Amino acid sequence: DGCGTMISLELDGMASGMYEIIISNAAGEDIGFSYFDEEIVEEYCGDGVCNGDETEESCPEDCGGGGGTWDGDACTMDDNSVHVAADGSVLYNTLEPVAGFQFSIDGASILDASGGASEEAGFMISFSETTVLGFSLDGSTFDGCGTMISLELDGMASGMSGIIISNAAGEDIGFSYFDEEIVEEYCGDGECNGDETEESCPEDCGGDDCEEAWDGDACSMDNNSIHVTSSGTVLYNTDTPIAGFQFNLDGANILSAAGGNSEAAGFMISASATTVLGFSLDGSTIDGCGTMIELELDGDASGLSGIIISDAGGVEIAFSYFEGGGDGEP
């Protein structure tokens, strides 16, 4: 589940699209997938962003002198990678559910290890001054992206080594260490980000460029946020497994509600003309990022309100509505 590469095809020619798409859940029911028809923004040397295979040597105009271009969000790290932040948070981004992990911390001593997605999944955690080990005794896993575990450190961690991240079959997934520095955001850096607004920083946020374009991918939304496209696809990005949800739809009437990861997880779904309610009767949850549910609408949705998202303990996770906008708005 979540998002990633479903399969790689060797082709004779250039693919232009897909049709007759049938994606089914564990009950054999069609989830109701659509083809995402958006062009990828071309990356090139001189576009102002250090990306692709560009390096300081090959493209100094984009990559020179400043290090990486990471925003500090686990969900924008490389797939199947892990990173330790200055505060001891161990961040991860995985394409495959994680059932166990082991790693060593470089440059600091470990005083304590707890919390994060691993503790929420009921993992057994043990640690020494240099090494952390976590695994599940009941087959539980966590996936998507977020905080794997939080470490209390004596000193400043400089990285991680000896990284072994395994799946439910005990196989090494093949993680790498994500070694990017967080780019400092400041007024006048040419980007409208952080808490900058058109009022507080007109040089970055003035005019029509005050909102950064979203690429339309649920996994690049803010953590613990939800968004509805104008056609009725409800997208989510969570760092905590979801056991129930309720929201109101603005700008359109709901004709039906089905599909998505919630139906795939066996959630009970009910809907009125304005409200959708979904919950699990057997303790199933959904996490990571993707499509929560598909709505058939009469009209174009303008947003969601009255959002309540709860975890397996019935505790509200505190979601916000992701406005999206920019060129990536689906």
Q: State the pairing for strand pair 176-177/81-84.
A: parallel
What residue ranges in 9-155 does DSSP mark as E strands?
A: 81-84, 89-98, 100-106, 109-114, 124-127, 131-135, 142-154
- pTM of this prediction? 0.40
**What does the pLDDT read at residue 328?**
43
Q: Per-block average pLDDT, block size 10, for the chain (330 residues)?
A: 83 80 84 76 64 70 58 91 93 96 95 95 94 92 96 93 93 92 64 73 63 80 93 94 94 93 94 92 92 93 93 92 64
Residue in 164, 178, 177 with CA at minimum distance from that of residue 100: 164
> What tokens appear for 330 in the block?
């689906």
> What tokens appear for 277 in the block?
């309610």
Neighbour tally for 303: CB within 10 Å: 16
**What does the pLDDT read at residue 24?**
84
* Maximal C-alpha separation, the chain: 59
DSSP class of 167: -
**What does the pLDDT read at residue 308?**
95
Kind plus residue range of the DSSP H or E element containing 120 = helix 116-120
Give the torsion through C-alpha atoms of 306, 312, 317, 323, to 10 deg.
Answer: -60
pLDDT digits (tens, 9 = 90+) for 140-196: 999 999 999 999 999 999 999 999 999 998 899 999 999 876 655 667 666 776 677
153-180 per-residue burial string, b: 16 or more CB within 10 A, e: under 16: beeebebbeebebbbeeeeebebeebeb
What residue ranges in 25-120 does DSSP mark as E strands?
A: 81-84, 89-98, 100-106, 109-114
What is the overall mean pLDDT for the chain?
85
DSSP class of 182: B
Question: Which amino acid is residue 64, in one-letter code?
Answer: G
Q: Cα separation of 223 and 85, whole Å?
A: 17
For residues 298 and 312, the answer to whether their CB atoms sit within 8 Å is no
**What does the pLDDT read at residue 326?**
45
Question: Dihedrals φ, ψ of 220, to 5°?
Answer: -105, 5
What distance lies between CA 49 and its chain's CA centroid? 21
Q: State the pairing for strand pair 225-228/320-321.
A: parallel
Give me the domains of the chain, ranges plus CATH numbers.
74-177 (2.60.40.680), 218-328 (2.60.40.680)
Give the torsion through C-alpha atoms of 48, 49, 54, 58, to 10 deg.
Answer: 20
**What does the pLDDT read at residue 209?**
42
**What does the pLDDT read at residue 61?**
63
**What does the pLDDT read at residue 4?**
80
